Amino acid sequence: MKIELVKLPYATNALEPVIAKQTIEFHHGKHLQAYVNNLNNLLPGTKFENADLVTIVKNSDGAIFNNAGQVLNHELYFTQFSPTGGGRPSGKLAAAIIMYFGSFENFQKEFEAAGVGLFGSGWAWLASDEDGKLSIIKESNAGNPVTKGLKPLLGFDVWEHAYYLDFQNRRADHLKELWKIVDWKAVESRY
């Protein structure tokens, strides 16, 4: 099964000023494309050759895991944003956020703290278990909550290539700005 580069659901300049066109072009068109290419070169002849991406991430290790994890992470990342995003979730997800974090503002604060507090490169995730319980998960490098039996709902990339051109070393500022472009309908559809 050939892994394809996820198509952006918006133009490369559509998320400005939160994420600049140049950052999208490098992040999606170069970094993610490299993970897709690497994974496609690694899969032939392995037990994962015809597996779907989530199965690969759940069951692989080493180079296959690193590249598959980054492909899955970035597919979720790039499809959770919209130029008309922002605001707050609604429905079941909004109720669950209030239940598990006390308020949407408290959730945002805890989520940003997870992203800022992650040493080195990785991801901050909002994830749910099979019963709908929410948690914030910090994953280094290519980590994804699916390896813990959880469903990733929202992921903020804290690898420097995700924000350095726009925010230099100001990771916290970048994380605060991302709320302006979160497409809560896309995130809610994962819950």
Q: What is the pLDDT of residues 10-25, one digit of tens each?
A: 999 999 999 999 999 9
| pTM score above 0.75 | yes
Question: In the chain, which segments carry CATH 1.10.287.990?
Answer: 21-78
- Pairwise CA distance, residues 109 & 173, whole Å: 12
Question: In the chain, which segments carry CATH 3.55.40.20?
Answer: 91-190
In one-letter notation, the amino acid at residue 79 is T
> String of b and e for 112-149 (b: at least 16 CB within 10 Å)?
bebbeebeeebbbbbbbeeeeebebbbbeebbbbbbee
Q: Percent of the chain at pLDDT above 70? A: 94
- Pairwise CA distance, residues 87 & 96, whole Å: 16
CATH of 21-78 among 3.40.50.300, 3.90.180.10, 3.40.640.10, 1.10.287.990: 1.10.287.990
Whether the CB-CB separation of 73 and 67 falls below 8 Å is answered with no
pLDDT at residue 164, as a whole number: 67
pLDDT at residue 121, as a whole number: 87
Q: In terms of pLDDT, which residue wins out, 1 or 94?
A: 94
Q: What is the mean pLDDT of residues 54-81?
A: 96
Q: What is the mean pLDDT of residues 82-90?
A: 94
- Pairwise CA distance, residues 112 & 156, whole Å: 9
Count the neighbouring beta carbons within 10 Å of the beta carbon of residue 42: 20
Whether the CB-CB separation of 57 and 139 falls below 8 Å is answered with no
pLDDT at residue 167, as a whole number: 64
pLDDT at residue 159, as a whole number: 65
pLDDT at residue 118, as a whole number: 83
Kindly indicate the confidence band of residue 1, based on its pLDDT and cuts at 50, 70 and 90: confident
Res. 174: pLDDT tops 70: yes
- Domain 91-190 class in CATH: alpha beta
Question: Mean pLDDT across the chain, nearest whole number?
Answer: 93
- Pairwise CA distance, residues 87 & 25, whole Å: 26
Q: What is the mean pLDDT of residues 113-141?
A: 93
Within a 13 Å sphere around the CA of 166, how many CA atoms are in the beta-carbon half? 26
